[in-house]
A and B are shown apart, each in its own frame.
Chain A
Amino acid sequence: MRRVLLACYTLWLREIVRFHRQRSRIVGALGSPLVFWFLIGSGLNRSFKGSPEMALQGGYLEYFYPGTLALIVLFTAIFATISIVEDRQEGFLQGVLVAPVPRAAIVVGKIAGATTIAVMQGTVFLLLAPLAHVRIHLLDVPALIGMLTLVSFGLAGLGFLVAWWLDSTQGFHAVMNIFLIPLWILSGALFPAAGAAGWVRGLMFVNPMTYGVSGLRWFFYDQALPGEPSFAVSLAVVVGFGVAMAAAGTIAVRRTR
Chain B
Amino acid sequence: MPLTSPAVEVDHLRHRYGERVALDDVSFAVASGEIFGLLGPNGGGKTTLFKIVSTLLFPTEGTVRVFGDDVVRDPAAVRRRLGVVFQHPALDGRLTVEENLRHQGHLYGLSGRTLTGRIGEVLARVRVEDRRRDLVATLSGGLQRRAEVAKALLHRPELLVLDEPSTGLDPAARRDIWQDLSSLRRQEGTSVILTTHLMDEAAACDRVAILDLGRLVALGTPTTLTSAIGGDVVQVTTRDPQDLAGRVAARFGVRAEVVDGKVHIERDRAHEFIAELVESFPGEIDAVTFGKPTLEDVFVHFTGRRLAEGV
Contact = CB atoms under 8 A, between A and B. Distances in A.
Contact of A14 (B84, B89, B92): B92
Interface string A73-106: 0000000000000000011111111111110000
Interface residues of A, number: 27
Given A98-B84, A99-B79, A10 B102 contact: yes
B90 A94 contact: yes
B27 interface: no
Interface of chain B: mostly helix, strand, loop or mixed: loop
B57 interface: yes
Nearest to A14: B103
B107 A99 contact: yes
A107 interface: no
Interface stretch (A1-9, A144-152, A160-168, A241-249): A1-9
B88 interface: yes
A109 to B, nearest CB: 10
Interface residues of B, number: 30
Nearest to B84: A98
B103 A10 contact: yes
B51 to A, nearest CB: 8
Given A6-B106, A90-B93, A95 B99 contact: no
Contact of A94 (B86, B93, B95, B109): B86
Interface in B43-70: 54-58
A257 B84 contact: no
Contacts of B55: 97-98, 257
A2 B109 CA distance: 8
Contacts, number: 77
Contacts of B102: 10
Interface string B105-121: 01111010000000000
Contacts of A11: 103, 107
A3 B109 contact: yes
B155 to A, nearest CB: 9
Contacts of A2: 109
A97 B71 CA distance: 13
Interface in A1-52: 2-3, 6-7, 9-11, 13-14, 17-18, 21-22
Given A10-B102, A17-B99, A94-B84, 19 more contacts: A6-B107, A11-B103, A14-B99, A17-B94, A18-B94, A21-B94, A90-B88, A90-B90, A91-B89, A91-B90, A92-B92, A95-B84, A95-B91, A96-B107, A97-B55, A98-B56, A98-B84, A100-B80, A257-B56
Interface of B: 54-58, 76-77, 79-80, 82, 84, 86, 88-95, 99, 102-104, 106-109, 111, 151
Interface of A: 2-3, 6-7, 9-11, 13-14, 17-18, 21-22, 90-102, 257
